[in-house]
Amino acid sequence: MTEALYVFGKVLIKHTFRNLFDMKWYGIENIPLKGPVIIAPNHRSNYDPPLVGSVIPRNDVFYFAKKGLFVNPVAAKFLLRVHAFPVDTEGIDVGAIKISLRILREGKALVLFPEGTRSKTGEFLPAKPGVGYLSLKTGAPVVPTLIWGTHEPMQLHFKRITPLYIKFSKPVYPPDIKANT
């Protein structure tokens, strides 16, 4: 049931945003179809996680989600079913790091916003070290990802078509630390 809900949600989101908001995506071929990978997009809107997830060509994708989203039991149950897990964005969340390491070591995909939080102004925020740490610990490549167009309030999208687009860049592979020591 969980897998069917996830796949149905991906299809629904992808087609809705493609048709209503002229959403486009590029560089899908840069996402490894198997093995561990960290998808690392910028974060400007609450729409970013489902939009990115809807176009990733694999279903074993997991997501960081701020712990405040899990306060409501119904929302928490839904988020867990669509592969999200809670993270404390106020500090270093050892539990979330352990979950992330397990996900990547199992050869799955992880969507992790390097900025650590959503930009309130639309400006890019500095990256935090989590993506690099997880990549080095697991050998997972990082796919830098740009999301553009979601920083405008959604009501503007209904008044005029503002294109949304997602660009997945070529993966960046971590250096072989053992070979360098």
**Confidence band for 180, pLDDT divided at 50, 70 and 90:** very low
Residue 114: per-residue pLDDT = 78
Residue 181: per-residue pLDDT = 44
Q: How far apart are CA 12 and CA 159, in angstroms?
A: 22
Residues 58, 132: contact at Cβ < 8 Å?
Answer: no
Q: Which CATH class is domain 2-180?
A: alpha beta
Sign of CA pseudo-dihedral 29, 33, 37, 38: positive
Q: How far apart are CA 138 and CA 55, in angstroms?
A: 24
Angle at 96 between CA 62 and CA 169, to 5 degrees: 45
- pLDDT, one tens digit per residue, over 75-102 is 888 888 888 899 887 878 899 999 999 9
Strands 61-66 and 84-87: parallel
- Estimate the crossing angle of helix 130-138 against helix 94-105, to 10 degrees: 40
Q: How far apart are CA 126 and CA 114, in angstroms?
A: 8
CA 8 to chain centroid, in Å, comes to: 18
- pLDDT, one tens digit per residue, over 144-157 is 998 887 766 555 54
The DSSP code for 30 is G
Boundaries of every domain in the chain? 2-180
pTM of the predicted structure, to 2 decimals: 0.85
